[in-house]
Amino acid sequence: MKKIIVLFGHKAVVKAAKEQGFYVINILQSNMLHSTFIKACNFADETVIINNLSELDGLIDRIVSTNIVAGIVSFTDTRDGVLKSAVYSEKLLSENRFVTKESVDILIDKKKMRDFLKSINLKLVPNIVPKTVDDVRQFLKVNGKSIIKPVAGQGSQDILLISPEDRFEDIFPKQLNESLSNGWLIMEKFIDGKEVSVETLTYDGVTQIFGITDKYKIPKGTPHSQFVESGHVFCANLESYLVNDIYNNVRKIFNHLNVNTTLGHTEMIIEKGTNEVYVVESHLRAGGDCIPDLVENVSGYNPYYLFFKALDGEQLPLVTNKGRSGIFYYIPEVGKISSVTKYSHTFSDDIYVKDRLDFTTLDVNPIQNSFDRKWGYIMLSGTDIEEAARKYFSEICIEYERE
């Protein structure tokens, strides 16, 4: 039986590997033993718990030296899982069939990513790495409303939206000024438009596209961050020329990255008015927020399962999509919840429902990143699912304590 090492594998990953016949050694850190990570323990052949990341080097050395290991993989940015799996694969395996450290380094550094996009002639959002507040002012003067975010890492955390009329003394505290002077921030013109993501599998250097996911954000005008996702729908309803444009962009990215076998999740924005397509970022993993489940609901195939099928050398099926599937997060107002009433709701027969809402009486703080959405979600498959989700959420009554 072929053995693989999975770094920080959650249930869906480990289960898919087992279904394809792999012997799975799943490595978790002790503070990850919750929710979906602890559920993975029920499927892995071996679960190794480490207390500190410093233990990883010696542990993986020992496993590889005493076993025939077919691969070291990870599908999470948590603890730099994808990057670590690339480093160990290059260092310890005679054949690295996955991704390289160089390719991961490009994608997790926003400046390197934009330099890479420029080198392959993809359209770029105007951007700079500002070093001073004067650099910021000048960029705003030329480009108008802009966003500032950390150069390192990926995702929707720590994004700041600023306008030329903002008071900079209120925006830039001491620690932000230090980040500017150290070149730790990147600034981009704010593009207003429709956000989508593209789910892919690259195998032996050939990229198969599963489809495009519509991304929904928390509405503007609330204390919550407008850059945090409130839902996703697969497949997106787009004009065929936009689909072709998006697919061409994605294939160009993966054709020029030095990768062999990997899942991919590439985020893009379609500018309102011009329909210009811009790449925001790309990941060498599947999308989060249960997007692989949405793909499976529509196509019948889970991306993780197809990855391990490809890794096992099997011919992949032709994936076709039928219908639409969406996940919608429930995001309460900010305030202390005193009571929750969830009324009975009946969906039409053509809607498949998966409900994972968890209401408690607690303080609701402003949501700043995806991990804050603790109240759960509803997953729907069928027709007119956006309207069905809206009606469902409208029948949830939350009372807040008033001062």
Q: How many structural domains does the chain have?
A: 3
- pLDDT over threshold 70, residue 330: yes
CATH classification at residue 394: 3.30.470.20
- pTM check: above 0.85: yes
Question: Strand, helix or coil at 4?
Answer: strand
Buried/exposed 40-76: b ≥16 CB within 10 Å, e otherwise: bbebbeebeeeeeeeebeeebeebbeeeebbbbbbbb
pLDDT digits (tens, 9 = 90+) for 307-324: 999 988 888 888 889 999
Phi, psi angle pair for 68, to nearest 5°: -85, 110
Residues 309, 366: one domain?
yes
| DSSP bridge partners of 396 | 342
**CA separation (Å) from 5 to 62, 98, 303, 324, 347?**
12, 13, 18, 34, 42
pLDDT digits (tens, 9 = 90+) for 192-246: 999 999 999 999 889 999 999 999 999 888 889 888 999 999 999 999 999 999 9
pLDDT bin (cut points 50, 70, 90) of residue 402 is confident
Residues 155, 199: one domain?
no
CATH classification at residue 52: 3.40.50.20
Residues 90, 131: one domain?
no
Confirm if 21 and 46 have CB atoms less than 8 A apart. Answer: no
What residue numbers bound the domain in which 388 lies? 100-118+191-403
Residues 226, 374: one domain?
yes
Token digits for 89?
């694969």
Tell me what pLDDT residue 356 has: 79
Token digits for 343?
């009324």
Question: Strand, helix or coil at 191?
Answer: coil
pLDDT digits (tens, 9 = 90+) for 254-267: 999 988 899 999 99
Residues 49, 79: one domain?
yes
Tell me what pLDDT residue 214 has: 95
Residues 65, 179: one domain?
no
Average pLDDT along the chain: 90
Mean pLDDT computed over 181-186: 89
pLDDT digits (tens, 9 = 90+) for 275-285: 999 999 999 99
Residues 88, 11: one domain?
yes
Residues 177, 66: one domain?
no
Mean pLDDT computed over 119-124: 95
Confirm if 60 and 72 have CB atoms less than 8 A apart. Answer: yes
Confirm if 210 and 303 have CB atoms less than 8 A apart. Answer: yes
Last residue of a domain, one of 135, 155, 189: 189
Token digits for 9?
């594998």
Residues 40, 107: one domain?
no
Percentage of the chain with pLDDT > 70?
97
Tell me what pLDDT residue 244 has: 95
CATH classification at residue 150: 3.30.1490
Residues 196, 250: one domain?
yes
Residues 84, 13: one domain?
yes
Mean pLDDT computed over 360-374: 83
Tell me what pLDDT residue 373 has: 84
- pLDDT over threshold 70, residue 100: yes
Tell me what pLDDT residue 155 has: 65
How far apart, in whole angstroms, are the C-alpha atoms of residue 182 and residue 172? 14
- 93 DSSP 8-state letter: -
Residues 275, 387: one domain?
yes
